[in-house]
Structure 1
Amino acid sequence: MADENLSDNEREELLRQWWRDNWAWIVGGVILGVGLLIGWNYWGSHKQRQAESAGQLYSDIEAAVAAGDATKAQEKLDALIGDFDSSAYAQQGRLLLAKSHVEAAKFAEAESLLRTVVDKSKDEELGAVAKLRLARLLIQDGKHDDAVKLLEPLTAGAFGAQAREIRGDALFAKGDAEGARAEYAAALAEADVQIDRQIVELKLQDVGGVVPASGAVQGTL
């Protein structure tokens, strides 16, 4: 090779020339890499601090609700929403305060919070929980068709059995025994369910359905 015929001085001069031609790129690359590393570490620390702050505010809401201090709970929720409205903690805070409102018979306030979770939650599970709870409030308010429509997207998912049961409650409340019977039967037919089977079986029997001893469900007389 040509380089093998060069003297040590010539090789050294070539190395110096290469450095003169490329030093700016090399130094710039090192600086950029260090800057990216520092920026990434800062961003990670920033996100961690945000998560900790949001978690603390949620804990404050829990404590206020447990103490029966609705005013303080609302203040902490407002602070959580103000700084971290896109976080799951904000949606969990709304769900928690909505439950507290229901227990205090403040149904309008609870409905407003639940609708916000339904509309804003990026977490599908939290959104589904909000729909189930909102549907129960709608039934209580006589909005049976709205409850049935709200839960339609959930009937084929992990919350299918619960959605079916609540839809059955809505249909029963509006006098549609046949529709309620079909929904209760569908709820009991789910393989992996999060419902009280004995209660749903009683509901099914109340609307004319039959639950054989074998556990198979007959939705009609």
Structure 2
Amino acid sequence: MDVNTTEEQQVEIIKAWLKENGKAVVLGAVLGLGGLYGWRYYQAEVQTAKEQASEAYTQTVQALSSGDDGAMSQAQTFIHDFESSHYAVLTALQLAKVQIEKNDLDAAAAQLKWAIGHTEDDALLSVAHTRLARILAAQKSYDEALAELDKVKAESWKGKVAELRGDILLQKGDQSAAREAYLRAKELGASPALQIKLDDLAQ
């Protein structure tokens, strides 16, 4: 704007600009405010959904722990209703544990495979893969069990995995490979019972 333009001219220029662009400015402001309120509403809805999932998860796990009639069905319903949340994966792990206790290994394996396919969390994946490996070993599918252990990536699980690998190899009848796995587990710092297993192999 020219510094020599009079105040009246400046006012006229502003009026003309507003007349030409005013609707766009107002529309932009409305859209901006609408987006802000829409985002806040979305955030509130997300928080409410999280709270509902958390409460339902707590009730489901309590039912599974107490052995309530219909608890397993309740857990399946929860998994279906909240399948995109971590709570569903946690529930699948809990349900698989109960199914293992009831010696329903096929159903437990299915739950664990579902959990593996629905999370990228290393800690949850480590739990699921090792539990599935134990089930496969119990079903004498030793090679599949060992392959399942190869999928555990979390560093903090390396010692546990090496020891479990030794257990499975021992079940398979490969004492030499089992000993190697136990020694590897010992290097990584595994359970206190590991030395007993090594001593048994030395006899």
TM-score of the alignment, normalized to the shorter chain, above 0.5: yes
Match of 1:62 in 2: 61
Aligned-partner SS, 2:2? helix
Q: In terms of mean alpha carbon deviation, does 155-164 or 50-59 score higher?
A: 155-164
Match of 1:175 in 2: 173
Match of 1:200 in 2: 194
- Of all paired residues, the percent bearing the same amino acid is 32
Match of 2:8 in 1: 9
Aligned length: 203
The one-letter code of the counterpart of 1:199 is: A
Distance 1:181 1:155, change over 3 A: farther
Structure 2 residue ranges without an equivalent (≥5): none
Partners in 1 of 2:156 and 2:185 — Cα distance? Answer: 12
Residue correspondence of structure 1 range 143-182 to structure 2 within 5 A: 143-154=141-152, 157-182=155-180
Task: Indicate conservation of the 8 Å contact 2:126/2:153, yes or no.
Answer: no
Shift of 1:98: 1.1
Aligned-partner SS, 2:140? coil
Match of 2:27 in 1: 28
Q: Does 1:112 align with 2:106?
A: no
Match of 2:40 in 1: 41
Partners in 1 of 2:80 and 2:45 — Cα distance? Answer: 17
Q: Does 1:132 align with 2:130?
A: yes
Shift of 1:47: 1.2
Structure 1 residue ranges without an equivalent (≥5): 210-221
Q: What does the per-residue CA deviation read over 1:166-214, in whole Å, with 9 as the maximum and x for residues that have no partner? A: 1111100011011111111111111xx5x42x211111222239xxxxx
What RMSD, in angstroms, separates the aligned Cα atoms of the two structures?
1.9
Moved over 4 A (4+): none
Shift of 1:155: 6.3
Task: Indicate conservation of the 8 Å contact 1:95/1:117, yes or no.
Answer: yes
Task: Indicate conservation of the 8 Å contact 2:60/2:78, yes or no.
Answer: no
Match of 2:96 in 1: 98
Distance 1:171 1:62, change over 3 A: same
Distance 1:76 1:49, change over 3 A: farther
Q: In terms of mean alpha carbon deviation, does 42-51 or 87-96 score higher?
A: 42-51
Match of 1:84 in 2: 82
Partners in 1 of 2:47 and 2:156 — Cα distance? Answer: 31
Match of 1:213 in 2: none
Distance 1:107 1:70, change over 3 A: farther
Task: Indicate conservation of the 8 Å contact 2:123/2:154, yes or no.
Answer: no
Partners in 1 of 2:120 and 2:42 — Cα distance? Answer: 22
Partners in 2 of 1:179 and 1:3 — Cα distance? Answer: 88
Distance 1:54 1:186, change over 3 A: same
Aligned-partner SS, 1:207? helix
Partners in 2 of 1:122 and 1:155 — Cα distance? Answer: 11
Task: Indicate conservation of the 8 Å contact 1:60/1:76, yes or no.
Answer: no
